[in-house]
């Protein structure tokens, strides 16, 4: 055996144990022994070694009706703390977590509508408040992942495709946030993070190529090719809000052959207008879709027209990418449910040759923040433990300030 091999094997086994504990939570020595495939003495030595380095800690006991209670072991979450942020024009939704995956605090705060110094100061205040709620001192975050509308250009760090975020454009966004927070920062497109979460725990766990579409105001999409998010040269891959499409709806005013921005075609105001043309009256697009789902024939006619609009935009993506799956996500899709998905699929199949299935995204709650949190875990665990992140988890780039 070559010199140094025993040490290398110990390092491999240590990383395997850490990864298993991170994936499964607290485990007994016997459970860990079985999971790794080591002998009882080797597992005991491994745990002693990791405990001495403060990588793992004893965490209570597990006992049954009979026999002695067994010691539980867990990764020391206090080794590293991360933050995940869902940023919109109106608010920030923040989660603070330790490296073991335990969420320590959640905090939501209202954001001002620019200028830059005002939004950055409000962002800093909100994150400081969240860190305080977690019982942590300032400056303890190692990494922050921010989910934002638009896209960050990896070369310049500037946010583009986001005119609805006044105050956030025109400067190196990850760089400024890193200086402000004294932590490394990744800024990722919000819909990309939803797609990431679908690949981790949703409909796309076993899917290699897919398109996720968020049909709503500031419509967006995420493109996944061979389990990797496609970001494009300037980060703008999937920004279909700006794509021009014709209006194939049967009711309402026709857009004409020159088309219109896809984002305008499926905006809340456009959906309200289309619904009214079918006799379905509501103040918002979401309310119109909600009323249509149980609104009988007029509701179905309106949803079919809305499905034509959505399918027209999706058809461009399917024609170029030929994905295995199209996922519809966001509040409009969730409100329309399986019925809207079925209608979009039917209309899509009239427009393109591939008979790509269209399904409703399955990740519930704040999927943007959940995806940001998983991304933050992946970055921190690679840095702390040397655990390589899956290809689709790797961030588009970050700025360090240490």
Please give the C-alpha separations between residue 117 and each of 113, 170, 177, 183, in angstroms, as whole numbers: 11, 12, 12, 19
pLDDT at position 203: 95
Equal fold, 79-194+367-393 vs 206-360: yes
Per-residue pLDDT, averaged over 17-36, amounts to 95
Q: Are 204 and 325 in contact (CB under 8 A)?
A: yes
pLDDT digits (tens, 9 = 90+) for 237-273: 999 998 999 899 888 776 766 788 999 999 999 999 9
pLDDT at position 398: 52
**Six-digit token pair at 30?**
């016997």
Q: Are 401 and 151 in contact (CB under 8 A)?
A: no
pLDDT at position 69: 83
Residue boundaries of the structural domains of the chain:
5-75, 79-194+367-393, 206-360
pLDDT digits (tens, 9 = 90+) for 52-95: 999 999 998 987 656 678 999 999 999 999 999 999 999 999 99
| CB within 8 Å of 246: residues ≥ 6 apart | 255, 256, 257, 259, 260, 312
Per-residue pLDDT, averaged over 151-168, amounts to 92
pLDDT digits (tens, 9 = 90+) for 283-333: 999 999 999 999 889 999 999 999 999 999 999 999 999 999 999 999 999
Q: Is the confidence at residue 3, as pLDDT, over 50? A: no
Alpha-carbon span 323 to 326, nearest angstrom: 7
Per-residue pLDDT, averaged over 113-130, amounts to 96
pLDDT band of 389, cuts 50, 70, 90: confident
pLDDT at position 62: 83
The CATH superfamily of 79-194+367-393 is: ATPase, nucleotide binding domain (3.30.420.40)
The model's pTM is: 0.91
What percent of the chain has a predicted confidence (pLDDT) above 70?
94
Q: Are 115 and 167 in contact (CB under 8 A)?
A: yes
Alpha-carbon span 401 to 302, nearest angstrom: 52
Fold of 206-360: Nucleotidyltransferase; domain 5 (3.30.420)
pLDDT at position 216: 76
Alpha-carbon span 42 to 48, nearest angstrom: 10
Q: Is the confidence at residue 199, as pLDDT, over 70? A: yes
Write out the CATH class of domain 5-75.
mainly alpha
| CB within 8 Å of 279: residues ≥ 6 apart | 298
Per-residue pLDDT, averaged over 175-187, amounts to 95
Q: Is the confidence at residue 140, as pLDDT, over 60? A: yes
pLDDT band of 50, cuts 50, 70, 90: very high
Torsion of CA 312, 316, 317, 318, to 10 degrees: 80
pLDDT digits (tens, 9 = 90+) for 83-100: 999 999 999 999 999 999
pLDDT band of 401, cuts 50, 70, 90: very low
């Amino acid at each position: 055996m070559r010199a140094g091999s025993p040490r290398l094997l110990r390092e491999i086994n240590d990383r395997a144990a850490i990864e298993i504990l991170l994936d499964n939570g607290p485990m007994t020595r016997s459970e860990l022994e079985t999971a790794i495939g080591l002998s009882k003495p080797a597992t005991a030595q491994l745990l002693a070694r990791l405990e001495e380095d403060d990588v793992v800690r004893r965490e209570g006991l597990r006992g049954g009706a009979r026999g002695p209670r067994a010691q539980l072991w867990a990764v020391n979450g206090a080794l590293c703390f991360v933050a995940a942020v869902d940023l919109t024009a109106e608010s920030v939704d923040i989660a603070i977590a330790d490296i073991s995956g335990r969420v320590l605090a959640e905090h939501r705060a209202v954001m001002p509508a620019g200028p830059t110094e005002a939004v950055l100061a409000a962002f800093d205040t909100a994150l400081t408040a969240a860190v305080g709620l977690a019982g942590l001192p300032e400056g303890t975050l190692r990494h922050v992942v921010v989910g934002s509308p638009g896209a960050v250009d990896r070369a310049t760090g500037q946010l583009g495709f986001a005119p609805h975020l006044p105050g956030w454009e025109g400067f190196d966004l990850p760089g400024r946030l890193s200086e402000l927070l004294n932590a490394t920062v990744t800024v990722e497109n919000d819909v990309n993070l939803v797609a990431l979460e679908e690949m981790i725990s949703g409909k796309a766990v076993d899917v290699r190529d897919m398109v996720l579409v968020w049909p709503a105001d500031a419509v967006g999409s995420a493109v996944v090719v061979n389990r990797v998010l496609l970001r494009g040269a300037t980060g703008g891959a999937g920004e279909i809000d700006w794509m021009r499409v014709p209006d194939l709806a049967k009711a309402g005013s026709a857009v004409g052959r020159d088309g219109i921005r896809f984002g305008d075609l499926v905006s809340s105001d456009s959906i309200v207008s289309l619904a009214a043309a079918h006799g379905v009256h509501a103040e918002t697009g979401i309310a119109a879709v909600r009323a249509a789902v149980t609104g009988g024939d007029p509701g179905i006619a309106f949803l079919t027209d809305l499905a034509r609009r959505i399918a027209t935009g999706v058809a461009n993506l399917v024609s170029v990418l030929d994905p295995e799956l199209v996922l519809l996500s966001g509040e409009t899709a969730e409100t329309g449910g399986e019925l809207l998905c079925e209608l979009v699929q039917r209309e899509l199949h009239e427009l393109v040759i591939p008979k790509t299935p269209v399904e409703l995204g399955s990740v519930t709650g704040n999927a943007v923040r959940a995806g940001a949190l998983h991304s933050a875990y992946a970055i921190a665990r690679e840095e702390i433990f040397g655990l390589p992140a899956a290809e689709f988890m790797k961030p588009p780039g970050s700025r360090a300030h240490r």
